[in-house]
Chain A
């Protein structure tokens, strides 16, 4: 049964990578639309002499505040959610193992030896190390996606922006 849990760990690692990739694409598109929605404001700030780097910094700050709130919520909800998920998975595995042993007992010649240890529960904890990894990962995602979307703004001068608006 522990083999099943090892498989689960591999699957979850792949899942994390896939989710991170998808998040990057989604975040990039979100920021592109976000900046397009605020193009007049960006044009005004540029016309008033605000440096582009400061405007991007402001957008990054706003995005970071939303990300921080999301991380706080996720870490608050994570222990409870993972406890429920882990209990469910253990129950499933226990049920499968029981069904398997019943089938084994029903055989005439029983050669199988129960070599696997029995798993009766899983303890789940969000460690500070895990939190750090998550903070770093989310920060990296936000910075890359804001930076990539920001290139669209960085290439334009305020006159182009006002021409686009009008």
Chain B
């Protein structure tokens, strides 16, 4: 079932209006699917993800969630109820504990989520900065899962992690899509991560160059 739709979206920075970062991009995203967005640096991948997340507004075009323009209820509402975010640098609040950080994401049971992402219970009350990079990213994913949002967006979630830890995070994201039924969209440079997706979206010079569906 389609959950998120991008229609003829264009984007340029306010300071450089003549330079188009995204040119007339259209795409549909479905629930229970794992998407990866790939492309060279500066191609417009992160900007595309920011627009899907409601972190910014397109210059032209619309973004629809369940058929409704996300601007109708406001971007704050979209970010709180429709999407959840995972960042490359985790973006956890450094003076809070693991549990408190997860609680920021929503009302779901924190401890169940931490168990789900394999954070040992002795780390739940610890300051989040005392955890390893991989654990911090798992906490960030748990925070994203704490909300009831149907879409999980991740920007280079394995960018700061070693191969083994990156593999665990990828598995977790795949499970989120296939077992929890969410639409997971990940921006990545990693060919390995990209190859794990159900669909790979290739962005080049601000346009979607190709969408490749991969077999199970």
Which A residues have a C-beta under 8 Å from some C-beta of B? Answer: 40-41, 43-51, 157-159, 162, 166
Contacts and interface: CB of A to CB of B under 8 A. Distances in A.
Interface in B142-170: 143, 147
A162 B91 CA distance: 10
Interface residues of B, number: 22
B77 interface: yes
25 contacts: A41-B94, A43-B91, A44-B92, A44-B104, A45-B104, A46-B76, A46-B79, A47-B55, A47-B79, A47-B85, A48-B79, A48-B104, A48-B105, A49-B78, A49-B79, A49-B80, A50-B76, A51-B76, A157-B55, A157-B75, A158-B55, A159-B55, A162-B55, A162-B91, A166-B89
Provide the main secondary structure of the chain A interface: helix
A50 B103 CA distance: 13
B93 A48 contact: no
Interface string B56-94: 100000000000000000011111110001010101111
A130 B78 CA distance: 48
B53 interface: yes
B14 to A, nearest CB: 10
Given A40-B91, A41-B93, A159-B50, A49 B55 contact: no
A49 B91 contact: no
A84 to B, nearest CB: 40
A51 B78 CA distance: 11
Given A40-B91, A44-B93, A159-B50, A49 B81 contact: yes
A158 B78 CA distance: 13
A158 B51 CA distance: 12
Given A40-B91, A41-B93, A47 B53 contact: yes
B56 A47 contact: no
Given A48-B147, A49-B76, A162-B55, 9 more contacts: A41-B93, A43-B91, A44-B91, A44-B104, A48-B80, A49-B78, A157-B55, A157-B75, A159-B56
Contact of A49 (B77, B87, B93, B143): B77
Contacts of B94: 41
Contacts of B87: 162
B56 A48 contact: no
A50 B104 CA distance: 9
Contacts of B55: 47, 157-159, 162
Nearest to B155: A162
A51 B81 CA distance: 13
A47 B84 CA distance: 9
Contacts of B79: 46-49, 158
Contacts of A158: 55, 79
